[in-house]
């Protein structure tokens, strides 16, 4: 007896092979491909006119903080995502030094409006697992440890190299987490405190990753004027330590850097030819999203976000910051200049100034009749430094060139803080958009190729041997699609709209999403690297 049978469906198996007509069954959480016609099943779906793929793997998710929340699961499952990877860009909810809990939460405020009451107990990944194991999970999740959280736990926000004791403490916490099943370490080298970390610190941590064949996933130090040097720094981590390197949301920001994707990809190809394992992920949009406060030079964060806000109370310091932001080559990644000024920076979410949401800083400044820099500073102050922004700083040809590259997979980088809290449309539309816009409409690659980048190839990069392919005995994670209606509907004004054409999403053989709603089934689990034979 099968638990689920999808008949007469077009099978896109995740390997890149041509689509074939057949049947897909699920039994006890595993796939049964093309079972005999008379095999009974508890539920049968007529798949005529539909396509089935392996469950999508979101290689770059910030879905760990709101883990267990229905709105978080909805954002993933409504795109066909069945497994996602949290703990990206240096941010993870562990490890926590209870004495620095407020600092850790301060650093992660862009990712959530609420923290688990138990967070002070997340002193290690194993302690966090005790909490996460009790959450209702419709989907699967794997974890990276965030270097930023690791550094705060060891030494707070201090802008200096770690002492030998502090570095040893970081290394031991990472070692313990790897033994407990994290898949690697992520860094966010434009964010505090990651921006303060010297290469020697990262190299020491990457040597531990190499010992465990774990991955170093990095938001590189600069994605605009110094993107080539920053990418080379990431590659150097693999060259010096032997660890696998994965570059987060690969892009070239700023008009004068458009076209650099050719040189960036050449660096990645030459590294792989040298024997260094370097891969990357990308979201299919020409605008990114992060903190609005990222426009402020890093030196003003030495006392954290609250300290930065305190600086903005001084008119003299405001003038000083304004001057630095307008200077090219100021020694940090300048989001203000790379977006072409205030007309290229849109306020996504600012809880205490909702009237600014959905408008560029330039538009909002004109609306209120004030100087754009003062408006920017005031929004930060009124929101205690916590607001998010969309940065229009990429070129479509770079997006396409990167997407086509064989070392690149798809990842949403989606931040979801509530069902209708404004965010980047990638949180709800990444994977349907990639299929619809770039395979079905533009023909940049075939349907089979783009699905491979979301499933089989992602599973290989993450070392998930039971996922990503439609084969007998593989995990029964599926996405059932109607390509005639498939499209992303989320945009920059209405970023929380659900995609269309996702008929059903299946995890462990159970339907967890259908008719644009969660079904209430919770077969998901926390995937640990050690359980995958790594």
- In tens, the pLDDT along 95-152 reads 999 999 999 998 898 788 889 999 999 999 999 999 999 999 999 999 999 999 999 9
Q: Are residues 158 and 130 in the same domain?
A: yes
DSSP annotation of 110 reads G
Least confident of 203-207, 222-226, 245-249, 269-273: 222-226
Q: Are residues 236 and 310 in the same domain?
A: no
In a domain, 244, yes or no: yes
Q: Are residues 95 and 229 in the same domain?
A: yes
Residues 6+ apart with CB under 8 A from 332: 190, 195, 222, 297, 298
- Where in the sequence is the domain holding 284, given as residue range(s)? 56-290+393-462
Q: Are residues 426 and 374 in the same domain?
A: no
Q: How far apart are CA 430 and CA 204, in angstroms?
A: 35
- The CATH number assigned to the domain holding 515 equals 2.30.40.10
Q: Which of 347, 372, 391 is the last residue of a domain?
A: 391
The mean pLDDT of the chain is 95
Rounded average pLDDT over 32-57: 96
Q: How far apart are CA 514 and CA 503, in angstroms?
A: 6
What is the number of domains present in the chain? 3
Neighbouring-strand partners of residue 389? 290, 347
Place of tokens 């770039």: 438
Q: Are residues 199 and 341 in the same domain?
A: no
Q: DSSP letter string over 393-431?
A: ---HHHHHHHHH-TTEEE---B--SSTTS---THHHHHH
Residue 146, phi then psi, degrees to nearest 5? -85, 125
Neighbouring-strand partners of residue 409? 281
Q: Are residues 147 and 244 in the same domain?
A: yes
Element (H, E) at 129: helix 125-132
514 contacts 449 by C-beta, under 8 angstroms: no
Of all residues in the chain, the percent with pLDDT exceeding 70 is 99
pLDDT band at 531 (very low <50, low <70, confident <90, very high): low
pLDDT band at 329 (very low <50, low <70, confident <90, very high): confident
- The CATH number assigned to the domain holding 208 equals 3.20.20.140
Q: How far apart are CA 435 and CA 433, in angstroms?
A: 5
Rounded average pLDDT over 238-249: 98
Rounded average pLDDT over 10-27: 98
Q: How far apart are CA 481 and CA 286, in angstroms?
A: 25
- In tens, the pLDDT along 185-197 reads 999 999 999 999 9
Q: Helix (H, G, I), strand (E, B), or coil: what is residue 219?
A: strand
- In tens, the pLDDT along 465-524 reads 999 999 999 999 999 999 999 999 999 889 999 999 999 999 999 999 999 999 999 999
Residue 534 pLDDT: 46
- In tens, the pLDDT along 336-358 reads 999 999 999 999 989 999 999 99
Regarding beta strands 408-410 and 278-282, do their DSSP bridges make them parallel or antiparallel, or are they unpaired? Answer: parallel
Q: How far apart are CA 234 and CA 224, in angstroms?
A: 15
Give the number of other Cβ atoms within 10 Å of residue 343's Cβ: 13
Instruction: Report the predicted TM-score, pTM, of the whole model to 2 decimal places.
Output: 0.92
- In tens, the pLDDT along 428-470 reads 999 999 999 999 999 999 999 999 999 999 999 999 999 999 9
Q: Are residues 164 and 93 in the same domain?
A: yes
């Amino acid at each position: 007896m099968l638990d689920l049978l999808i008949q007469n469906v077009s099978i896109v198996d995740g390997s890149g092979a041509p689509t074939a007509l057949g049947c897909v069954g699920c039994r006890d959480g595993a796939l049964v491909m093309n079972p005999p016609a008379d095999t009974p099943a508890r539920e049968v779906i007529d798949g005529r006119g539909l396509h089935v793929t392996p469950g999508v793997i979101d290689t770059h998710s910030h879905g760990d903080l709101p883990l267990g929340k229905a709105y978080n699961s909805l954002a993933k499952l409504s795109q066909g995502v069945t497994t996602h990877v949290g703990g990206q860009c240096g941010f993870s909810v562990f490890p926590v030094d209870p004495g620095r809990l407020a600092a850790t939460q301060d650093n992660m405020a862009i990712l959530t409006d609420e923290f688990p009451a138990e967070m002070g107990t997340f002193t290690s990944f194993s302690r966090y697992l005790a909490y996460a194991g009790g959450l209702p999970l419709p989907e699967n999740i794997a974890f990276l440890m965030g270097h930023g959280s690791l550094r705060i736990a060891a030494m707070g926000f201090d802008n200096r190299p770690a002492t030998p004791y502090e570095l040893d403490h970081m290394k031991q916490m990472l070692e313990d987490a790897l033994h407990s099943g994290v898949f690697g370490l992520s860094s966010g080298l434009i964010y505090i405190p990651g921006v303060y970390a010297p290469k020697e610190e990262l190299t020491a941590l990457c040597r531990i990753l190499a010992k465990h064949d774990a991955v170093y996933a990095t938001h590189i130090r600069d994605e605009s004027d110094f993107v080539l040097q920053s990418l080379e720094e990431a590659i150097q981590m693999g060259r010096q330590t032997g660890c696998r390197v994965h570059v987060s949301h690969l892009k070239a920001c700023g008009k004068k850097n458009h076209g650099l994707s050719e040189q960036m990809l050449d660096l990645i190809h030459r590294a792989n030819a040298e024997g260094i394992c370097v891969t990357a992920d990308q979201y299919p949009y020409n605008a990114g999203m992060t903190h609005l406060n990222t426009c402020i030079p890093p030196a003003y964060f030495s006392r954290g976000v609250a300290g930065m806000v305190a600086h903005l109370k001084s008119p003299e310091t405001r003038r000083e910051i304004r001057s630095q932001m307008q200077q090219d080559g100021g020694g940090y990644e300048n989001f203000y200049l790379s977006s072409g000024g205030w007309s290229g920076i849109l306020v996504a979410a600012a809880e205490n100034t909702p009237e600014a949401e959905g408008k560029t800083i330039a538009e909002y400044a004109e609306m209120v009749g004030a100087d754009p820099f003062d408006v920017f500073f005031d929004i930060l102050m009124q929101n205690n430094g916590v607001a998010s922004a969309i940065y229009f700083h990429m070129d479509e040809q770079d997006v396409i060139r990167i997407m086509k590259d064989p070392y690149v997979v798809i990842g949403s980088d989606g931040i979801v803080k509530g069902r209708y809290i404004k965010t980047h449309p990638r949180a709800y539309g990444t994977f349907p958009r990639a299929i619809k816009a770039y395979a079905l409409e533009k023909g940049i690659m075939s349907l089979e190729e783009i699905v491979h980048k979301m499933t089989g190839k992602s599973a290989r990069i993450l070392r998930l041997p039971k996922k990503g392919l439609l084969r007998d005995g593989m995990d029964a994670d599926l996405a059932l699609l109607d390509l005639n209606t498939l499209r992303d509907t989320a945009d920059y004004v209405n970023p929380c709209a659900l995609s269309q054409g996702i008929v059903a999403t299946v995890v462990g053989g159970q339907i967890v999403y259908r008719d644009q709603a969660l079904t209430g089934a919770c077969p998901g689990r926390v995937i640990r690297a050690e359980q995958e034979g790594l």
